[in-house]
Structure 1
Amino acid sequence: MSSSETTGTAPQDARRPLVAILSGAGISTDSGIPDYRGPNGLWRRDPEAEKLVTYAYYMADPEIRRRAWRMRCDGPALRARPNAAHEAVVRLERSGTPVRVITQNVDGLHQLAGMPGRKVLELHGSARSVQCTRCKARSGMAEALERVAAGDPDPACEACGGILKSATVMFGEGLDPSVLGEAVAVTKACEVFIAVGTSLQVHPAASLAGLAADHGARLIIVNAEPTPYDDRADELVREPIGTALPALLERIAGGA
């Protein structure tokens, strides 16, 4: 992929820079989805909750799985709607600017906002699907939650009887190498790299910011708290994401 790729037919599109957006939990907090590592993040409030998304605990302990299914039933992810930040990313893409989203989130809100699925790389998978840990069959999360609501606290795979989990990358699991490889390629090719709502502490996703800078991209970090890559950034934005990101992306769409 080169920085001259085009998403539209107008000749001027070819001169627009490829913009890569790495999004983390902070972009979705305005949609009612809490972050995990911020000052009020879930892991700080309830360290035991991390076990519910740790593969070894999940596979070994039926009670952990039952708690995880209850968390999925009660969680806001499937009910959440895109917010102004997600919508701003879509507007940038529709302006003719080549855009690729690399997201650490599993909520699917970029796609719900209107970003084409092929332009969104979900590094940590999707909470909108479930996957069998034995036969790898996939199905919808909503269907699995219906089974839980009907009285099955730990639904098994209907194809082989294996343990079901959300189609997300749990702690202790590796990222999909093909998705990560595409993310690396986009990062190396982009001319603007925006890290938004991410602490840049979870690797390998966090290292993409440094990789972008190493390859000459303009690095912009939009995050309320300091990150390990702030000293590499060309621009730091501390204002609330819901207002700061739309303003930033409008400026980029205008050629600034």
Structure 2
Amino acid sequence: MLQDARIVAGFTGAGISTESGIPDFRSPGSPWMRNKPIPFQLFLRDPKARREAWRRKFTMDDLYRGARPSAGHVGFASLVASGRMPAVITQNIDGLHQEAGLAEDQVIELHGNGTFAKCLSCGRRHELDWVRYHFERDDDPPECMVCGGILKSATISFGQAMPEEPMRRAQRLTAVCDLFLVAGSSLVVFPAAAFPAFAKENGARLVIVNREPTPLDTAADLTIHAEIGEVFSKFIA
């Protein structure tokens, strides 16, 4: 099936990164449940909420510091390098697809990127080491070094609008692919989870690799319930 595809759309979720040591948001006992992201509107209006959001952010960063790309990430990078997969659509915020060798424009990040911060006013990128230094020194998150605006991790929080350009790019890729390959997603978080269903309705074949069943298993042309790294190591060079 993979060998016959002309254009493959990759789609990844948390499961591809749990094999790198990054915890899943919804698993029982997940540290994410003790350090939940602060809702966007609360973050905007309350300085105390912003301080707590950064505290939780750095606590989680410390938990998976040193995480490296899994065999699944390397497998997707191999597919992109082959020329059959223009880009990977991901729900993840960890930057591990880029660490596996993909260029920034080969990763479509639907939920943003947690490896840096952005100013909510001017959009200026700020590195986390700089933010953390000032946060820990002053016990308060710093403001934008350019315009004095609010800094936030470059992720999409609950209540925050989805990023327009990544959504458009994901829609375009989904519309033209003839194979949609899902790895490590429960396919329950919308609007991201709508992409594989759209691809299938548009005539593409749908392959799902995930440890647990998903709502789209019965619609898929092939479903594999297994560890992602184990699967990809067998058929990706």
Structure-1-length-normalised TM-score: 0.83
Matched, 1:147 2:134: yes
User: Which portions of structure 1, spanning 4 or more consecutive aligned residues, are displaced by more than 4 angstroms?
Assistant: none
SS of the counterpart of 1:34?
A: coil
- The CA distance in 1 between the partners of 2:164 and 2:139, in whole Å, is 33
Tell me what 1:24 maps to: 13
What is the CA distance between 1:27 and its match in structure 2?
0.7
Matched, 1:199 2:192: no
Tell me what 1:123 maps to: 110
Tell me what 2:203 maps to: 216
Tell me what 1:66 maps to: 51
Q: Aligned match of 1:235 in 197, 222, 233?
A: 222
Provide the aligned C-alpha RMSD in A: 2.1
Query: For residue 171 of structure 1, what is the amino acid of its counterpart?
Result: F
What is the CA distance between 1:249 and its match in structure 2?
4.0
Residue correspondences, number: 233
Q: Aligned match of 1:114 in 84, 98, 101?
A: 101
What is the CA distance between 1:39 and its match in structure 2?
4.2
Matches within 5 A, 1:75-94: 75-76=60-61, 79-94=66-81
Change (3 A) 1:67 1:165: same
Whether the 8 Å CA contact 2:131–2:141 is kept in 1: the answer is no
- The CA distance in 1 between the partners of 2:100 and 2:116, in whole Å, is 18
What is the CA distance between 1:103 and its match in structure 2?
0.5
Whether the 8 Å CA contact 1:85–1:242 is kept in 2: the answer is yes
More displaced 10-residue stretch of structure 1: 218-227 or 73-82: 73-82
- The CA distance in 1 between the partners of 2:29 and 2:89, in whole Å, is 24
Whether the 8 Å CA contact 1:78–1:107 is kept in 2: the answer is no
- The CA distance in 1 between the partners of 2:192 and 2:219, in whole Å, is 16
**Deviations 1:195-237 (Å, cap 9, x if unpaired)?**
1111111111100010010111111111122222112111111
Whether the 8 Å CA contact 1:148–1:154 is kept in 2: the answer is yes
SS of the counterpart of 1:195?
A: strand
Q: Aligned match of 2:24 in 18, 29, 35?
A: 35
- The CA distance in 2 between the partners of 1:132 and 1:120, in whole Å, is 22
Whether the 8 Å CA contact 1:196–1:222 is kept in 2: the answer is yes
What is the CA distance between 1:30 and its match in structure 2?
1.5
- The CA distance in 2 between the partners of 1:245 and 1:36, in whole Å, is 23
Change (3 A) 1:78 1:121: farther
Query: For residue 242 of structure 1, what is the amino acid of its counterpart?
Result: G
Tell me what 1:3 maps to: none
Structure 2 gap segments, 5+ residues each = none
Percent identical residues: 40
- The CA distance in 1 between the partners of 2:26 and 2:154, in whole Å, is 21
**Deviations 1:66-87 (Å, cap 9, x if unpaired)?**
2221222232455322111111
More displaced 10-residue stretch of structure 1: 168-177 or 131-140: 131-140
Whether the 8 Å CA contact 1:130–1:164 is kept in 2: the answer is yes
Whether the 8 Å CA contact 2:15–2:183 is kept in 1: the answer is yes
- The CA distance in 1 between the partners of 2:142 and 2:182, in whole Å, is 37
Whether the 8 Å CA contact 1:82–1:109 is kept in 2: the answer is yes
Whether the 8 Å CA contact 1:16–1:98 is kept in 2: the answer is no
**Deviations 1:71-130 (Å, cap 9, x if unpaired)?**
222324553221111111112222343342001111110011101221111111111221
SS of the counterpart of 1:22?
A: strand
What is the CA distance between 1:153 and its match in structure 2?
2.8
